Copies of this chain bind each other. A is one copy, B any other.
Amino acid sequence: MNPIIRAEILTIGDEILFGQIIDTNTQWIGSELTGIGIRTVRKTSVGDDKKDIIAAFTDAGKRAEVVIVTGGLGPTKDDVTKYAFCEYFGSTLKINEDALTLITAFFAKRGRAMTELNIQQAALPDNCTYVPNQWGTAPGMWFEKDGVVYVSLPGVPYEMKSLMEFEILPRLKQRFVLNVIQHKSVRTIGIGESFLAEKIAAWESALPDHIRLAYLPHFGQVKLRLTGTGDNADVLNTQLLEQVDLVRPIIDEYIFGYDQDELESVIAALLISQQATVGTAESCTGGFVSHRLTSLPGSSAYFQGAVVSYSNELKMNLLGVSGDTLAEHGAVSEQTVKEMAEGARRALGTTYAIATTGIAGPDGGSAEKPVGTVWIACATPTETVTQLLKLANIRSINIEMTSTYALNLLRKAIIKSGQI
């Protein structure tokens, strides 16, 4: 193996420290660096303060070969980041003509006026390599000092990602001799992290040193991610697949997919292969299941539509739930969810239909049906299956968990239908 190239990610901005925005950039950057064989060893966020920024440059340069800097470059910033670069790299700010041309074209194309703040975005430290930003107004910058590469990117996620993908990652692959990193993930649903860990403990402790395992839990799912490091992609992939083959029989009933598979994409593939369609009837999830099913490009091939029936009137009028059922069992009941799913299948004209009804909270619970009581159902051409969930007291989590369990119920129903 080659020596491991280490990276640090540095984000700049008071808004990140003071908790005014969620930083999703560094997760993405870390993932991309991992993908090309660069190991992120530290992430740091500092405020819009030149002294703090320079101290962070200095520290990071001692520990890593690559320092990725994002943020601190917006049109309403005081350019403190650029002045920190100038001081650290011994340069002065100067309008970069290529950058100015690109920024001018950016505004012209959109028919928008340029402000003086936008022009100043073309002023760069005179000893950086200018990295053109086709996707926004803040240029990228590439510096080298004492064998360490420093890259500066705007904080706007779309611009940062485009610059990384099309400019920075290719340049890093050229600049360094990198190890090959390969991943393989096994996606599970319906088993908690610690129970999963106990089940696969023997397998896990027998993993070779160059293959590492991570448990990544997320709303009822756990992703088992294997990361292999070596110098031959084919050999690594074979070794990772061997490990997957070993663990599969132990946890087969919980596996719904691999790698980039999501419940939505697995369901999409199943529906397309059956030339089948789906729709939803939602009460407590308020359209969130429908949103998830339509979040994939091309979902119109199998998704027909949804009825969100918050009121009992709409459960009756649009889905045909009987007034007697609602009166006798209530809106949150097995009988109602069953009639919702079957009614949705009729009203939407689909092969399958999912239904949800429950008390998402934080109010509306009773002793008999506390907050978190949720019924879900899936109607198929031959039967309707139902499931009772007992969730927690947090509305957003209940909506998220209900949608995940409902999609999993659908997934299992489609598989079963296909086997008949």
Contacts and interface: CB of A to CB of B under 8 A. Distances in A.
Contacts of A75: 193-194, 197
Contact of A17 (B41, B198, B297): B41
A115 B26 CA distance: 34
Interface in A30-72: 30-34, 39-47, 52, 56, 59
A414 B282 CA distance: 26
Contact of A314 (B17, B56, B59, B348): B348
A27 B16 contact: yes
A28 interface: yes
B27 A396 contact: no
Interface stretch (A85-93, A238-246, A248-256, A305-313): A305-313
Nearest to A215: B76
B16 A21 contact: no
Contacts of A298: 363
A303 interface: yes
A287 interface: yes
A47 B41 CA distance: 6
Nearest to A32: B19
A285 B28 CA distance: 25
Interface string A344-379: 000111000000000001110000000000000000
A397 to B, nearest CB: 7
B399 A362 contact: no
Nearest to A14: B214
A291 B294 contact: no
Contact of A310 (B43, B303, B310, B347): B303
A158 interface: yes
A95 interface: no
B310 A308 contact: no
Counting chain B CB atoms within 10 Å of each CB, which of A299, A311, A361 scores highest?
A: A311
Interface string A197-223: 110000000000000101110100001
Given A115-B194, A214-B14, A288-B291, A22 B22 contact: yes
A26 B43 CA distance: 12
Interface string A1-28: 0000000000000111111111110111
A52 B44 contact: no
Contact of A288 (B282, B287, B318, B363): B287
Contacts of A295: 286, 395-396, 399
Given A115-B194, A287-B288, A18 B216 contact: no
10 contacts: A17-B30, A19-B26, A20-B214, A23-B27, A41-B46, A75-B194, A286-B306, A287-B290, A295-B399, A307-B318
Given A22-B27, A117-B197, 15 more contacts: A17-B41, A19-B28, A20-B27, A20-B30, A20-B31, A22-B22, A41-B52, A286-B294, A287-B287, A287-B291, A288-B291, A304-B313, A305-B309, A305-B318, A306-B306
